[in-house]
């Protein structure tokens, strides 16, 4: 299929803000790509499935160079146009439009396949000398692109398509196209089925294909391929926890670490994924070692928390102490010694060739007890009691807090596991809870003493895949260099993600998740969410979380008492 056809769809999507209209446009286009379902990735502004975290690695500086070279002008001219238009996609459209008018160079037709092929080569190019090859691949596309096509190519390589297609809209379009539901009830039912399939596969192309052929149920868990983790709502207190999960219930330590899904494939290969589905096997060789030597099973998917501890005092440390290990590529052994972790296993969803997501939690827990040989400070089962007594839970709660953990999880003993869903099969109980995990979507350059640093950050929540701003935060970060939470570190990280610049304000690709504490929530017309956080303060950088893990508008409304 010609890329221009896809660009027409992009344009139509961009021209409306109405979700229903977007769904209709997409549903109709899906009918044309049934034989090439992977085009769906391009509709999402990507070239791989959601579970696949290969990055194109194109910063806005590289995009500027590619545009300049393709248009035969200097970088300075491109930067000037960027300052004026604020969007490199529009810059490409404009400068290439001018060039093409002059030279009438543009003749060949660009195919979707060619765009996919070139963009998919980008992540393989790492290290010295590869930058020019990367730029070359983009220039090749720009040469055979119309100015409009150039706009979308640049936006795609920067990871900011701006057509407003979130996962909710895509899901509804698949339902529309494959099932054509006649009423609201049918729509709801198919929506749920498609969503459940997506949460197992995290791949809209596969879901679309299977939905069309009536094979959604055939989407199965497979060790080695990351699956979305189950999420948990909050309970107000112990009584509330019992009310939600039933009596008796299991209560476990809520460890203050980060979540890992440990997969062992049938061939014996162990792979570790974070909850944002990023593979971190190389960063945590000891986890591989622990499960290889302490878990008896041919294949499995374990859900666990990696918790940091001090090797001398043996006291648990907080998440921030070990979070730097998640992104570390070098000096792993040193990190392992300096920041040791214990694995607290709390669930299992696949065992020896069988999915266990429909097995009651009580049974799943018995199974992990059976197959794991515990060894403190290496691998243990999450500390647990089973009870119906409030006082007993409160005592256990206190114990968890004294042990430097965040609180408790209350879990239904009869509930299944629901990948990706925030269902009340388990709840969290934490003392201070005035915070949300939010993603940084923009920032502002500082002035005076803080010139050269980004010092104020726009944070957003999500609503069915769409990001909505909820405030600007400028406190919580250190002036000093070093550590994750310093202005310098944050500036360095965000610099790589810039997609738009307007004076001192920038917009960035939504990749950095932070925990933001606040005093209260107010209704506000200033931000697109309709709410603003009062006295917000960044307390944590969540390396383990992605945009799929941030607070939803629904949760914010609930907290605001709406
Ligand atoms: P929160 O991050 O506040 O939404 O709380 C949920 C997180 O708590 C999960 O994603 C896990 O990473 C973590 N957690 C710690 N201990 C447990 C446990 N025993 N069971 C389930 N999740 C746990």
Residue 475's domain is classified under what CATH number? 2.40.50.140
Cα(324)–Cα(304) distance, rounded to whole angstroms? 18
Best residue for ligand 1 mutational test, from 228, 230, 231, 232 (most atoms within 8 Å of Cβ)? 232
Cα(437)–Cα(548) distance, rounded to whole angstroms? 10
Using a 10 angstrom Cβ sphere, with 0-12 exposed, 13-18 middle and 19 or more buried, the burial of residue 550 is buried
Here the contacts of 394-401 (C-beta below 8 Å, separation 24 or greater) are 394/238, 396/251, 397/238, 397/251, 397/429, 400/253, 400/254, 401/431
Res. 485: pLDDT tops 90: no
Which of 429, 450, 477 is the last residue before a domain boundary? Answer: 429
Cα–ligand 1 centroid distance for 319 (angstroms): 12
**DSSP tag of 519:** S
Model confidence at 16, pLDDT cuts 50, 70, 90, reads very high
Q: What is the mean pLDDT of residues 529-543?
A: 92
Q: What is the mean pLDDT of residues 434-441?
A: 94
Q: What is the mean pLDDT of residues 86-114?
A: 83
The residue whose CA is least distant from atom 8 of ligand 1 is 254
Which tops the pLDDT comparison, 482 or 75?
A: 75
From 92-96, 157-161, 448-452, 489-493, the region with the lowest mean pLDDT: 448-452
pLDDT at 478: 76
Nearest ligand 1 atom to the CA of 411 is 20
Task: Determine the structural domain holding residue 146 and report its residue range.
Answer: 46-157
Q: Residue 341: which CATH number?
A: 3.30.470.30
Cα–ligand 1 centroid distance for 334 (angstroms): 27
My answer on whether 467 and 510 are in the same domain is: yes
Give the rounded percent of residues in the chain with a pLDDT score beyond 90: 75
pLDDT at 125: 86
pLDDT at 108: 64
pLDDT tens-digit readout, 323-342: 889 888 888 999 999 999 99
My answer on whether 462 and 395 are in the same domain is: no
My answer on whether 247 and 143 are in the same domain is: no
Q: Which residues contact 403 (CB under 8 A, 6 or more apart)?
A: 253, 316
Q: What is the count of structural domains for the chain?
A: 3
SS3 443: strand
Res. 483: pLDDT tops 80: no
* Pocket of ligand 1, beta carbon within 6 A: 232, 252-255, 259, 275, 305, 346, 382, 409, 428
Best residue for ligand 1 mutational test, from 255, 383, 423, 548 (most atoms within 8 Å of Cβ)? 255
Q: What is the mean pLDDT of residues 456-483?
A: 85
H, E, C per residue of 280-301: CCCCCHHHHHHHHHHECCCCEE
Cα(385)–Cα(410) distance, rounded to whole angstroms? 10
Cα(426)–Cα(435) distance, rounded to whole angstroms? 20
- Quick check: 515 and 479 in contact, CB under 8 A? no
My answer on whether 477 and 399 are in the same domain is: no
Give the rounded percent of residues in the chain with a pLDDT score beyond 70: 97
Nearest ligand 1 atom to the CA of 275 is 10
Cα–ligand 1 centroid distance for 153 (angstroms): 39
Model confidence at 464, pLDDT cuts 50, 70, 90, reads confident
SS3 267: coil
Q: What is the mean pLDDT of residues 406-417?
A: 96
pLDDT tens-digit readout, 256-315: 999 999 999 999 999 999 998 999 999 999 999 999 999 999 999 999 999 999 999 999
Cα–ligand 1 centroid distance for 46 (angstroms): 29
My answer on whether 524 and 457 are in the same domain is: yes
pLDDT tens-digit readout, 227-241: 999 999 889 899 999
Half-sphere exposure of 518 (CA within 13 A, CB side): 24
Mean pLDDT of all residues belonging to the chain: 92
The residue whose CA is least distant from atom 10 of ligand 1 is 259
Assigned domain for 411 exists: yes
Assigned domain for 2 exists: no
pLDDT at 480: 59
Assigned domain for 515 exists: yes
Res. 351: pLDDT tops 60: yes
Residue position matching structure tokens 């968890």:
400
Cα–ligand 1 centroid distance for 232 (angstroms): 8
Cα–ligand 1 centroid distance for 80 (angstroms): 47
My answer on whether 416 and 531 are in the same domain is: no
Q: Residue 136: which CATH number?
A: 1.10.3260.10
Residues in the chain: 562
pLDDT at 248: 97
Query: What are the strands, taking DSSP E only, across 115-269?
Result: 249-254, 258-264
Cα(52)–Cα(546) distance, rounded to whole angstroms? 13
Query: What are the strands, taking DSSP E only, across 159-207?
Result: none
pLDDT at 383: 98
pLDDT at 328: 85
DSSP symbols for 344-413: EEEEEEEETTEE-TTS-HHHHHHHHHHHB--BTTTEEEPPEEEES-HHHHHHHHHHHHHTT--EEEEEES
Assigned domain for 190 exists: no
My answer on whether 424 and 455 are in the same domain is: no
Q: What is the mean pLDDT of residues 91-115?
A: 81
Q: What phi, psi does 46 have (nearest 5°)?
A: -135, 175
Res. 101: pLDDT tops 70: no
Instruction: Record the tokens describing residue 297, joined without a space.
Output: 């099973």
pLDDT at 119: 97
From 71-75, 97-101, 154-158, 556-560, the region with the lowest mean pLDDT: 97-101
Q: What is the mean pLDDT of residues 99-120?
A: 80
Whether cis (ω within 30° of 0) applies to the bond prior to 224 is no
- Residue 422's beta-bridge partner residues? 231
pLDDT at 484: 63
The residue whose CA is least distant from atom 4 of ligand 1 is 232
Helix boundaries (H) for 202-231: 204-212
pTM of structure: 0.85
pLDDT at 15: 95
Highest mean pLDDT among 17-21, 23-27, 554-558: 23-27
The residue whose CA is least distant from atom 14 of ligand 1 is 254
pLDDT at 103: 63
pLDDT at 487: 86
Catalytic residues, which ones? 254
Instruction: Record the tokens describing residue 533, joined without a space.
Output: 């956080």
The residue whose CA is least distant from atom 12 of ligand 1 is 259
Best residue for ligand 1 mutational test, from 233, 234, 254, 410 (most atoms within 8 Å of Cβ)? 254
My answer on whether 379 and 457 are in the same domain is: no
First vs last Cα of the chain: how many Å apart?
47
My answer on whether 122 and 267 are in the same domain is: no
Instruction: Record the tokens describing residue 318, joined without a space.
Output: 């907080």
- Quick check: 362 and 413 in contact, CB under 8 A? yes
Cα–ligand 1 centroid distance for 229 (angstroms): 10
The residue whose CA is least distant from atom 16 of ligand 1 is 254
Res. 482: pLDDT tops 60: no
H, E, C per residue of 456-511: EEEEEEEECCEEEEEEEECCCCECCCCCCCEHHHHHHHHHCCEEEEECCEEEECCC
pLDDT tens-digit readout, 126-181: 878 888 999 999 999 999 999 999 999 999 999 989 888 888 999 999 999 999 99
Assigned domain for 371 exists: yes
My answer on whether 495 and 414 are in the same domain is: no
Cα(502)–Cα(444) distance, rounded to whole angstroms? 10
Which of 390, 408, 429 is the last residue before a domain boundary? Answer: 429
- Quick check: 336 and 322 in contact, CB under 8 A? no
Work out the number of other CB atoms within 10 angstroms of the CB of residue 378: 18
CA 168-169-170 angle, to 5 degrees, is 95
pLDDT at 98: 84
The residue whose CA is least distant from atom 9 of ligand 1 is 259
Assigned domain for 174 exists: no
Assigned domain for 211 exists: no
Q: CA nearest 12: which of 23, 2, 24, 25?
A: 25
Assigned domain for 205 exists: no
Which of 413, 429, 445 is the last residue before a domain boundary? Answer: 429
Res. 553: pLDDT tops 90: yes
Cα(240)–Cα(429) distance, rounded to whole angstroms? 10
Work out the number of other CB atoms within 10 angstroms of the CB of residue 470: 29
My answer on whether 450 and 356 are in the same domain is: no
My answer on whether 467 and 422 are in the same domain is: no
Q: Kindly calculate the radius of gyration of the chain based on its CA atoms and give it in whole angstroms.
A: 24
Q: What phi, psi does 20 have (nearest 5°)?
A: -65, -40
């Amino acid at each position: 299929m010609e890329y221009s056809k896809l660009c027409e769809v992009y344009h139509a999507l961009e021209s409306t803000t109405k979700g229903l209209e977007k769904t209709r446009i997409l549903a109709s286009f899906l009918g044309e790509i049934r034989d090439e379902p992977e085009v769906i990735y391009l509709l999402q502004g990507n070239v791989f499935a959601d579970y696949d975290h290969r990055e194109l690695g194109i910063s806005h500086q590289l995009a500027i160079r590619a545009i300049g070279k393709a248009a035969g002008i200097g970088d300075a001219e491109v930067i000037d146009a960027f300052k004026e238009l604020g969007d490199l996609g529009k810059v490409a459209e404009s400068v290439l439009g001018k060039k093409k008018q002059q030279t009438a160079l543009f003749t060949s037709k660009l195919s979707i396949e060619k765009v996919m092929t070139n963009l998919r080569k980008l992540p393989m190019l790492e290290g010295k000398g590869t930058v020019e090859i990367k730029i070359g691949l983009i220039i090749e596309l720009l040469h055979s692109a119309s100015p409009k096509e150039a706009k979308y190519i640049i936006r795609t390589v920067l990871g900011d398509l701006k057509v407003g297609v979130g996962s909710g809209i895509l899901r509804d379009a698949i339902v529309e196209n494959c099932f054509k539901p006649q009423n609201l009830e049918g729509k709801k039912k198919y929506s749920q089925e498609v969503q459940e399939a997506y949460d197992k596969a995290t791949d809209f192309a596969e879901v679309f294909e299977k939905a069309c052929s009536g094979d959604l149920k055939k989407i199965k868990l497979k060790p080695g391929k990351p699956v979305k983790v189950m999420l948990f709502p909050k309970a107000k207190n112990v009584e509330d926890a019992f009310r939600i999960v039933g009596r008796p219930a299991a209560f476990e330590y809520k460890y203050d670490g980060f979540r890992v899904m440990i997969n062992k494939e049938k061939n014996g290969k162990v792979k570790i994924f974070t909850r944002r589905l990023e593979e971190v096997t190389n960063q945590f060789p000891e986890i591989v070692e622990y499960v290889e030597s302490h878990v008896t099973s041919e294949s499995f998917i374990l859900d666990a928390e990696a918790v940091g501890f001090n090797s001398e005092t043996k006291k648990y440390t907080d998440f921030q102490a070990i979070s730097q290990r998640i992104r570390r590529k070098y000096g792993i052994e040193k990190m392992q010694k300096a920041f040791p972790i214990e694995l607290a296993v709390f669930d299992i969803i696949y065992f020896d060739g069988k999915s266990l997501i429909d097995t009651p939690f009580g049974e799943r827990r018995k199974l992990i007890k059976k197959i794991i040989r515990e060894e403190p400070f290496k691998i243990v089962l999450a500390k647990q009691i089973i009870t119906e007594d409030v006082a007993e839970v409160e005592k256990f709660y206190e114990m968890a807090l004294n042990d430097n953990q965040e609180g408790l999880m209350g879990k239904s003993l009869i509930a299944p596991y629901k990948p990706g869903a925030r269902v009340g099969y388990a709840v969290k109980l934490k003392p201070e809870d005035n915070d949300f995990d939010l993603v940084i979507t923009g920032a502002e350059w500082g002035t005076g003493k803080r010139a050269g640093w980004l010092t104020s950050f726009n944070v957003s929540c999500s609503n069915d895949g769409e990001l909505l701003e909820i405030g600007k935060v400028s406190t919580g970060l250190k002036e000093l260099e070093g550590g994750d939470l310093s202005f310098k570190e944050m500036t360095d990280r965000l610099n790589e993600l810039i997609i738009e610049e307007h004076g001192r304000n920038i917009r960035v690709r939504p990749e950095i998740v932070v925990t933001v504490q606040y005093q209260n929530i107010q209704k506000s017309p200033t931000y697109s969410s309709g709410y603003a956080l009062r006295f917000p303060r960044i307390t944590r950088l969540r390396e383990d979380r992605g945009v799929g893990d941030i607070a939803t508008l629904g949760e914010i409304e609930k907290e605001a008492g709406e």
